[in-house]
Structure formats: structure tokens, C-alpha cells
Amino acid sequence: MKLGVLHLSDIHIRNQDDPATKFGESIAKACYTTAHQSEEFIIVVTGDIAYGGQKVEYQYAKKLLLVISARIQAEIGKAVNIFLAPGNHDCMLKPEDEIRTITIDKVINNPELELSQQIISKCTEPQIHYFEFEHSIRLLQPVYEDQLWKEYELAVGGGIVRISSINAAWMSKIPEVAGTLVYPIESYYSHLEAPCTLRLAMIHHPLNWYCQATYHPMRRALKAHCNVILSGHEHSIGSEVISDLNGSTLMLEAPALQPHEENLTAQFSCLLFETDQKIVYETRFEATESSPVQIGEELTHSFDSSAKCAKLNRIHPDFIKILMDPGGNFTHPTRGELSAEEIFVYPQLEENNADVEKKTFYADEIFAGWEEGRKILILADDEGGKTFLLRKYFRDIHEQGGLPLYIKGEEIGSVTERDIDKLVEQVSAQQYSSANDLKYSEKSKKVVLIDDMDRIKGGLKVQERLVEILQSRFVSVVLTASSRFILSELVGGDVSKHLIKYESYKIKPFGHLLRNTLIRKWCMLGDVKTMVDFDRKVYGAETLVNGILGKSIVPAKPVYLLIFLQSKEQNEQGELQNSSFSYYYQYLLTKSLKDAGYRNDEFDEMYSYLSQMAWYFKEADSKELRTAELREFNSKFSNEYTSVDFDQRVGLLLQAKVITRSGDYFRFTYAYIYYFLVGKYLSDHLHDEEVMRAVERYCEQLNVRENANIIMFLTHHSSDPRVINKISSTLDLCFSENEPLHLNGDMAAINSLVESAAKLVIKDLDVAENQKNTKKRQDIYESQTEVDGQSADQSRPDTSDSTNSILSISADINLTTKTSEILANIIKNYYGSLKKDRKQQYVSSIFDSSLRTLSRLFSEILEQPDRFVAEIEKELADRYPKMLDEERTAQAKKFAFQLTGLITTSFIAKTGNLVSSDKIREDVSKTVADNAGNAYRLIEIASCLTQPGNIPFDALDKLSKDLKSNTFAL
């Protein structure tokens, strides 16, 4: 089937002098080629035909459209149908109808309000002349029409085209505010579900103009049923494919035929749909009074021509609310309450087996073939996102024409066949508008999703029987359970017959790539005007989130990431008094206690209790305490401060997930809770000399992870100068026997190895793809270093002299790195309370420690560069015996130069990243200005380049000229 379409939009006709009134002949000529290639040719106008909805304006518009259609009809010898959709300019909005405005405001404030005919009639009164015009110009009568929707059916080349004209402007007003439009899309599902070969939807306002209550149902409905969506309003031409595992829908946005903006030209486009090839050919034109002017080459868009019109079994409105529940009270300043679709990101799943090399997949990949009979078990920790994932699976399967059923494990009692069938019927009545939709459907369409399988009473035998019954009634079965589920199965002693055959996966915490994806989705919700602003917002949020998470301090679960992002927005709105990391940790802990029913007026006592309990763990040098030990602490606290009922307190802390229990042992649930509370204890007791001595010991050994975490959390609570100065003095002692590398004349030995530096040519790059690849590499690196760290902890130390020397340097580098990180965070967190001279002193300490480390690493190379080159030559001779001596020497020198350069660049970039913050930009600049070293200047440039925004080309150019004779630094 071949359908040709002239796509016009935003004509804005006012009077007979408008340029658009003279474009008819030119537009028709532009359509001839496409019209001849088509079996049917139509004209589509997606809104804003008139300027103010006046009757006389439509008279001029009618003349224009009839000229175009008549010329095309004369050319091809076939009638040309015209299809219209109204825009906001097709409404007579002046003078204002106050009753209509009040009605619209009521609809906006209550978007889920049932729209009566009286409300619709009142709101569409300004469109009266549009309706008259539309009725007079159409040749084909709609198969259905009302004030908000017109449905046309057109026979083309043995196929059927369905065209849905959507009146999105029915509640337009002045000014028009994005994100406020309401549309009752659910009233028109039956028309969208009518069978056809190709379905086009015409709509003036793109989807981002609708309120949240409308946006997601509208998006789902159009994506599920329409092959192509034609729109206007934005005055910009473009195309986009909305795609996921459920298929794709092509969106084509028309430019304005008569734009308001002086910098825009009059444009339109011709489309040729070839359903057999699944291709749309688009040719764009500039409108003139004479011959048309083609813009660029013909564009080719692929579109999904698969049957999208099959009737979906309706989900019950109450259950839709459950599916859209984001899993918490998440709100955004510009969007209000958020839904699940706005913030959902598919997690990664890792194979849950005994293999050393476990494969990782995205969760949507795992269940893409649900029709094929998948048997899947997904494990996750508490708040790991398994319920969220199952609800997303439900929506995906339903959009693909399947019949999913979601059942909570706790709802399952008896597992006889009769009882399970009764439960399935009961749940399907809650989840579908008609329970018979699922009851009388084929097994091949039905999928069951069982949430929290491990909460089913009766152990493995009951679970096995349930699975056996479900597999006989559903084509695919997906189970979720706690990450401890398999352990309990093994301990049970029973042999699994069915569950053992399931593909088992575990939800992974969000790595850098998924965090970035979620953060970008969050930032897109805001009112961001430019890509630079968007990049800055993403960078700021990412820096905050990664800083709070630390190295596995807080589990990188979506719920926590969203809490941090929401809190950050509140901070930017001026709703928070404290923006340091300590706020976010305290917020998480307080929220957990409140959710468990703890009262606000008792938090002082609770935090005192918890911080002293954490210190009790610390003094015991144990991550776990027996019940008797914990009871002993409780008695001590009760004697010294206030009486606390042990059993009641432990029950509350377990419910709040502050602590967790395994047999007779208790431990803090998450690392951040333990370190936050230890830090609070130390902050509250710094006046105690013994505590202060302990803090000083920790500061001297920050290469020990436990100490680094404790001091990091202590500095979140306190900016005590004694602690900060101790951290700074510890940093000053790192490699103190070495002078900092200045990159002035101290790398002459390295410079002598080559005659000139390689030229770096920066090509046009795909920034988004580069960032994505960078995040992937970070995830791989952190995953590997975590494994290496575990291996190192378990391996026996090598006690040879050379190994001890290497380990000593490695430990010193680690101490330098961790101390620098903590000191940099202190400067950035307390930039407003630390005096400038102290901040600049600390910045110098950070810079010098990194440069002293380089000096230590390169000390032997700088003293004997020829010996270093000779070692490389020896290695090259072993690997490439046929290489000529002269070439081998040249290659060895080049490698030596590049290796030292790579290491130096890495240290400078990392140091620059530590101080990369607008809050201390002034202090960094002053520190650099007071130092004559090129290394300082390079670090400052690095601190600018690690942030999105304008590149400091002038500073780069000046530095490049200054370093012209310094090949290594250049």
C-alpha cells in the first residue's frame, strides 16, 4: 500500500494579504512527484489553520487548501481528501470567556474529573467556526465524530487506513502552559482498536504539553495503536521514534507554513508511506509564491507496520493507579507527583549461578520472549526494585497483547488447584475491567508474575506445588524473592523439581551507567532551556549522588537515588538549610524510623542511643554483636541516660531496617548507618581527649578503609579545625621527602627522549555515546577492583624486599589519595565557613601531595632515563627480535615518554577533578596565581574541563604558548 500525504501545520491565516494565501500553486507543484507514486494522496493539516479562530480567516484558509487540492487532483485525476485537527489558534479566545476559564481551571486542578458533555461543550465553544470550516471542506465523512475526536476510514490499494483527528486544543487558553492539557483518551480506546493496515494520528500539541494524568495514558494508547503520529505547534520540523521492546511509533512534526518567528521560513513536507517496505519517504520544502524549493535530500524513516490495532484487554482503572505508583511519595518541583513511567529505568540482572564469570543482562532483554514459555526467578535485596520491575513487566506484556497477572506471595494461602484457580479469578477481576478476558483466554497469552515467592507459607513443598499448577495454566512464569531465598531452599533439605529448572538472576545495584540514565530522566522533568544547562544539571546531580554513595557506603538502589535527587531539588528550591552530605544520610535514617512509626519528638534520644550503640560496636571491634552483648549496651545506656525497653527498641530498629538479625547476632543493615552514627558519636565527643586521640590515629591511617569512612562521616557532622588540620598535616607528610613536580624544568630528562609531542586532532564526536562508553568502563573497572580487592584480602602476603617496597609505595599512594579526597570534600562542603587563607592552604596541600607522588614515582627515571629506556629496549628485543636497533631505540624512547606522560596526565586530571567546583573556583585560581609552577596551571585547567560548560579556550591558548618549548608539559 502506498499513501501520499501533504503535511501542513501552523498556517496562522489572518487576512488576504498573508504570504501563505499565495503559496497554493507552489505547494501543489511540490506534491506532484509524491502524488504520482501514491495509490491515494491526502492533505493533512495538524492545527493552527487560522490565527484567531475567526470565520473570515477560515474563508481564506479554505481558498488556499482548495487551490492545492484542485491542482493535485487535476494532475493525478483522483480526488484529494483533506483531514484537519485543530490547534490553539483555531479557538476564539478574545475576549476571554470567564465562565470557560473557570471551567478549564477546574479541569486542570482535577485532571481525573469525569468530563461531562456540559463541560466539553462549554470548553469547545471558541471552536465553532473551526467546526463549520472542517465540515465544509471534507469529502470523506467520519465513521465516528464528536467534539474531541473524529475517526476516518480510507480504502487504499487493498488496505485500510484509519485516521484519528484529535482535538487537543479543546481547553486551550491564553497563555498556554505546557504540561497542563487534559484529554480523556480512555473514551476513545475502541476507535484506536479498530482493525486497519495503517493508522495515523493527527494531533496539534506534542505529548509534552499534557498533564501527567493524561500524558502517560495518551502516550501508551497512541504508541500501542498508531503507526505514525503527525503533529505541529512547535514550528520546528523533526522526527522521532518512540521505541521499546513493545514496538515503535514514528512521530513526524511539521514546521510552520506561516511562522511568527522572523528567523524561520515557511516550510511544509510531503510524505510517502510504503507499508510493504515499512518506510516513509519525507521531502521537505520551503514555500514560495512561485516554484517550490526543496530543503536537503529526501529523508527515509522506517516505521513499525505490524498490526497495532488488536484490541487490548482493558486494565481496571484502580489497578492502573497501582501500576503507576512510583514506590514512594516522589515529587518534582515542576511536575508535581511523579508516576512510575517517568522515573523507571530497567536494572541490570546478573546470572545467579556458581560460574565464576557471571553474565549480565538488562532486565528487558531477559523477558523479551515471554510468548516462548520462560521460567524466571529474580532475586533482590529489600528495596532492590523487584516489585517495580514486575509491574513494568506487566505493562510491557499487556502492550504486546499478552494477559499478565500480578499476584503477591502473601496473598497465596492454600495451593490446591481449586484454590489457585479461585485466586486467579479473584485477582483478574481486580486487574482487568472484565475478569472473563483472562479466564477464557488461551494459555499462550497468559503470564503470571508472583512477587515475593518466599513469603508463601509452607516451605519448599508448597512453593513447588504452586509452581507446578501455575506452569500448567500460564505460558510463562516469573517469580521474585529475597536474595536469601535460595539459601533457605538449600538448608530446607527438600529437593527442588521445578524451581531448580528456572533461569535465576539477581538484580544488581545501579552502576555509573544506570545512575546516569536515571539522573538524565530526572533532569529532563525540569524546565531546562539549553543543552549546556541540562549537562550542568546532570553533572551536579551525578556528583552529589556518587559522593553520597561512596564506595558501597549506601546501596545504589533506585529508591535511594530518587530520594537524593528529590532532596537535591528541594535544596535548590531553598527548602533545606543544610546541603552537606550529612543531611542526606540523616534523611534516609530518619525516614526509615518514621516509616516504622517513631515520633518526631523522640529523635534526640534515638540518635543518642544509636550513635552510642555504633560506638559500642566499634569499641568491640566487631560488625556483629550477640543478643546478650546488645542487651548489656542497652542496660548501660538506660543507667546513664534514660530507661529504654530492650525488646521494644530492638523490634523498632528491626522494623525500620536500621539493624538486621541473623540467628543470635545483630548488625547494622547498611554501612552508611554504622559510619554515620560512629561519625556522629565522635562529633559529639571531640571534647573527650581519648576520643580526640582516636580521631588523630584514624587521620594518620586513612589508607585503611574503615578509618577513611569514619573520618569522612565525622567531617560530614563537624568542621572542627583540629580534625581538618590533622587531615591536612597528614597529607603534607605524604612523600614529604620528595619535592613537588613543577613541570617547569624538572622534566628535562624526559623531554630529551623525543623531539616533539604528538599532535592531538579532536574530531566531531558523539558526546552521548562517549559518555555512555565512559560509564560502562567505570562500571567494569569498579566491578574488577572489587573482585581484586576481595582476592587481595584473601591472598597471603609476599614478604620479599622488592614486594615490600612496592607495597609500601602503593600504601602511601593510597593514603595520599584518600586523604586528598577527604580534604577536598571538606573544602567544598564548608566553603562558606572556612576562611580563604585556610582553603587556599588546603588546596595547595592537595596539589603538592599529588605532585610529590609523581616526583617519587619518576625519581629513578629522572636520575637515569637511559637505564629506563634500556629496560624497555630489552623487552622489545625479546618480543620483536627482527626489529632494527635504531628503530628499537626510537620506539623505546617514545614509549618511555608516553608512559610517563600518561601517568602524569592521570594524576593531574584526578587532582583537578577533586577541586572541580564553582564554590571554590576563586580559591583555586588564587592558589594557582600565587604559584609559578606549570603543574598548578595544568591542574586548574583540568578542574575546568571536568565540568560541562564553556571550555576556557583563552586560558588553554595562553598555556599552550607558554609551554611551547616544554614538550612534556605540552
Domain that includes residue 427, residue range: 345-508
Task: Give me the CATH number covering residue 64.
Answer: 3.60.21.10
Q: Give mean pLDDT, residues 750-774.
A: 65
Taking Cα atoms as reference points, which of 183, 164, 181 lies closest to residue 172?
A: 181
Please report the pLDDT score of residue 970 as a whole number.
Answer: 57
Please report the pLDDT score of residue 785 as a whole number.
Answer: 62
- 3-class DSSP state for residue 160? strand
Query: Which is higher by pLDDT, 877 or 961?
Result: 877
Per-residue confidence band for 578, with pLDDT thresholds at 50, 70 and 90: very low
In-domain check, residue 393: yes
Query: Which is higher by pLDDT, 524 or 450?
Result: 450
- The answer to whether residues 167 and 33 belong to one domain is yes
pLDDT tens figures, 248-303: 688 898 889 998 877 788 999 999 999 888 899 999 999 999 888 999 999 998 87
Taking Cα atoms as reference points, which of 351, 330, 333 lies closest to residue 341?
A: 330
Q: Are strands 247-253 and 238-244 parallel, antiparallel or unpaired?
A: antiparallel
How many domains, in total, are found in the chain? 3
Please report the pLDDT score of residue 933 as a whole number.
Answer: 82
- The answer to whether residues 941 and 846 belong to one domain is yes
- The answer to whether 624 and 665 have CB atoms below 8 angstroms apart is yes
Q: Using the CB atoms, write b or e for 386-415: b if 16+ within 10 Å.
A: bbbbbbbbbbbbbbbbbbbbbbebeebeeb
State yes or no: pLDDT of 346 exceeds 50.
yes
- The answer to whether residues 755 and 893 belong to one domain is yes
In-domain check, residue 735: no
Which residues contact residue 420 at a Cβ distance below 8 angstroms, ignoring those fewer than 6 apart?
Answer: 412, 466, 469, 470, 473
Please report the pLDDT score of residue 405 as a whole number.
Answer: 95
* Average per-residue pLDDT for the chain: 85
- In whole angstroms, what is the distance from residue 238 CA to residue 54 CA? 29
pLDDT tens figures, 145-171: 999 999 999 999 889 999 999 999 999
Which domain-ending residue is among 508, 529, 557? 508
Please report the pLDDT score of residue 796 as a whole number.
Answer: 39
Please report the pLDDT score of residue 352 as a whole number.
Answer: 86
In-domain check, residue 48: yes
Please report the pLDDT score of residue 764 as a whole number.
Answer: 56
* Lowest pLDDT segment from 398-412, 531-545, 757-771, 835-849: 757-771
Please report the pLDDT score of residue 573 as a whole number.
Answer: 46
Put simply, whether the predicted model's pTM sits higher than 0.75 gets the answer: no
Please give the full DSSP string across 85-110, using - where no structure is assigned: E--GGGS--SS--HHHHHHHHHHHH-
Q: Give mean pLDDT, residues 459-468.
A: 87
Please report the pLDDT score of residue 904 as a whole number.
Answer: 87
- The answer to whether residues 286 and 382 belong to one domain is no
Query: Which is higher by pLDDT, 58 or 712?
Result: 58
Task: Give me the CATH number covering residue 484.
Answer: 3.40.50.300
Q: Give mean pLDDT, residues 586-612.
A: 88
- The answer to whether residues 100 and 38 belong to one domain is yes
pLDDT tens figures, 941-960: 888 887 776 677 787 778 77
Please report the pLDDT score of residue 177 as a whole number.
Answer: 78
State yes or no: pLDDT of 577 exceeds 50.
no
Cell numbers representing residue 379 in the block: 532475586
Per-residue confidence band for 382, with pLDDT thresholds at 50, 70 and 90: confident
Per-residue confidence band for 726, with pLDDT thresholds at 50, 70 and 90: very high
- In whole angstroms, what is the distance from residue 87 CA to residue 50 CA? 9
Please give the full DSSP string across 283-350, using - where no structure is assigned: EEEE--SSS-EEEEEEEEEE---S---SPPPPBPHHHHHHHT--SS--EETTTEE--HHHH--PPEEE
Most confident of 110-124, 601-615, 942-956: 601-615
Per-residue confidence band for 247, with pLDDT thresholds at 50, 70 and 90: low
Give the largest CA-CA distance in the chain.
100
Per-residue confidence band for 967, with pLDDT thresholds at 50, 70 and 90: low
In-domain check, residue 389: yes
- The answer to whether residues 296 and 354 belong to one domain is no
Distances (CA, A) of 513 to 359, 470, 888: 17, 36, 41
Query: Which is higher by pLDDT, 704 or 336?
Result: 704
State yes or no: pLDDT of 748 exceeds 80.
no
pLDDT tens figures, 667-700: 998 888 999 999 999 999 999 999 999 999 999 9
In-domain check, residue 844: yes
State yes or no: pLDDT of 514 exceeds 50.
yes
- The answer to whether residues 243 and 352 belong to one domain is no
- The answer to whether residues 129 and 6 belong to one domain is yes
Residue with cell 609523581: 854
Determine the straight-line distance between the first and last CA of the chain, rounded to whole angstroms: 62
Query: Which is higher by pLDDT, 373 or 437?
Result: 373
Q: Give mean pLDDT, residues 626-638.
A: 96
Most confident of 18-32, 192-206, 399-413, 512-526: 18-32
- The answer to whether residues 222 and 369 belong to one domain is no
Please report the pLDDT score of residue 271 as a whole number.
Answer: 95
Amino acid at residue number 739: E
Which domain-ending residue is among 465, 480, 508? 508
Please report the pLDDT score of residue 751 as a whole number.
Answer: 67
In-domain check, residue 103: yes
In-domain check, residue 782: yes
* Lowest pLDDT segment from 129-143, 407-421, 534-548, 711-725: 534-548
Per-residue confidence band for 790, with pLDDT thresholds at 50, 70 and 90: very low
- The answer to whether residues 482 and 367 belong to one domain is yes
pLDDT tens figures, 881-918: 888 888 888 888 888 888 888 888 889 999 998 998 88
- The answer to whether 221 and 189 have CB atoms below 8 angstroms apart is yes
In-domain check, residue 333: no
Cell numbers representing residue 769 in the block: 555515546
- The answer to whether residues 853 and 924 belong to one domain is yes
Which domain-ending residue is among 508, 542, 566? 508
Amino acid at residue number 421: D
- The answer to whether residues 29 and 90 belong to one domain is yes
pLDDT tens figures, 213-235: 787 788 878 887 888 999 987 65
User: Over 232-295, what HEC string results?
Assistant: CCCCCCEEEEEEECCEEEEEEECCCCCCCCCCCCCEEEEEEEECCCCEEEEEEEECCCCCCEEE
